[in-house]
Structure formats: C-alpha cells, structure tokens
Amino acid sequence: MPYSACIFDLDGTLADTLHSIAHFGNGTLEAFGYPPIDPIEYKQLVGNGADLLMRRMLARVGAKLSEEELKRFRAEYDRRYADDPMALVGAYPGLPYVLPRLRESGMKLGVLSNKPDDMTRAIVAGLYPGIFHAVHGQREGIPTKPDPAAVLALAEELGAAPGGVLYIGDSGVDMDTAKNAGMDSCGVLWGFRSKEELLEHGAMYLAGDPAELEKVIEKR
C-alpha cells in the first residue's frame, strides 16, 4: 500500500543549517568570553534540541555555568537566531524540485524537528513556502525526539496512520523516532551524520540524494 504521508526532519535533512547553527552558536560563545567551535564539530552536537546543544557546546569549550547562567546563555542564542533565522541556511540540491512533485501527487507532507518551534517554522517557510501541510518544532510540554509522541500527533494531524508514514531524517535520533512510532524510516546521506549511524539505528531505507528518496517513496 502506498505511503499516505512523509514526515521530514529539518536540520541536515531539508535544510543545510550547519554553518548557520555554528554562526549563532559561536557568536553566543564569544559573547560570553569562550572560544569558537569548528563548524564541522557541530554535526555531532546538534540533533537533540537546543537545550542539549547549549550544554554540549559549553562542555566542548570546558565551560561550567550555573543553571541561571545557562538560561542567559540560551536566551542570547535564541535572540541571535530570532534576528535572522535564515542566515547561512540553504536547501539541499534537488529538494526544491522533488518536494512539490510529492505534494502534487497527493502526498501529505510534514516536518518535525527538535529545533525550537518558531525557528523551525521560519526556516521551512523561507525555504519551502506552501509545500508542507504541517510543521512543528520543539514545543513546551511535548517531549523531543526520539520520543514518538510528537510524530504520532503530527501523523494524526495529517490524517495518516503510523504504518502509512515514511519518516525521513539524517540521524540515529530520527531512525529511533520512526521505530518508536511504528513508522518506516529512510536515512538521508547528505546530512550531518554517517551511513553507519543510520544503519546502526535501524534505517529501513537509505537515500543518497533527493532523486533516490523519491524512488524509495514511489516503490512502496
């Protein structure tokens, strides 16, 4: 039976945000007197939400902040991001062509990210206006991925049963999310994490580029 919906991760899947995250992260570190982190290292720091990203960044530079200082650090990061959420952000080649075709075919399309909700919505609207039927980031009171609660709620919003959804992402967290929700999973190889990580976490399919992803979706 064909998929009725596809749900996508954002960072490293729909949006090339590595240098954007590094830009805002390093700007925040420098504002607090800490050295910057090599942008490539952010590939391993992201993926579990902004709070954990802050803690990983600070641990990486050897900083120890009180909870109150950590709140100020996070607020500074959020302020910088909110001022220009599209800074250094780009769409991965091929997706601006594949995604409209999927929507035109009748596929329901959603986005679920561990990035804060307002930032997620701003980036998706900037890169893919009018493409997705539902977009959610991290929201207060809703557990982050790989907990399945948010992705199951999104599937319901799209009118799709879990077994009819393909969840698409670039990390082990994404593959675990799909597994926990009873959804099929496709790991994309153009993102932040490795093929080995995706397979280790149970990716059912792999796609090296958006054209391969389209074939995975169509062959169901």
Write out pLDDT tens, residues 20-75.
999 999 999 999 999 999 999 999 999 888 889 999 999 999 998 999 999 999 99
DSSP 35-86: ----GGGHHHH-SS-HHHHHHHHHHHTT----HHHHHHHHHHHHHHHHH-TT
In the prediction, which pLDDT does 168 show? 98
Report the C-alpha gap between 126 and 116 in whole angstroms: 16
Listed as ranges, residues in the chain with pLDDT below 70 are none
Helices (H), the chain: 18-31, 42-45, 50-60, 67-83, 95-104, 117-127, 149-158, 172-181, 195-200, 210-219
In the prediction, which pLDDT does 47 show? 85
In the prediction, which pLDDT does 134 show? 98
In the prediction, which pLDDT does 1 show? 72
Burial 57-93 (b: 16+ CB within 10 A, else e): bbebeebebeeeebeebbebbbebbeeebeeebebbe
Q: Is the peptide bond before 35 cis (omega within 30 degrees of 0)?
A: no
In the prediction, which pLDDT does 97 show? 97
Q: Centre a 10 Å sphere on the Cβ of residue 33 and count the other Cβ atoms it contains.
A: 8
Q: Domains (ranges, CATH) in the chain?
A: 5-16+90-219 (3.40.50.1000), 18-83 (1.10.150.240)
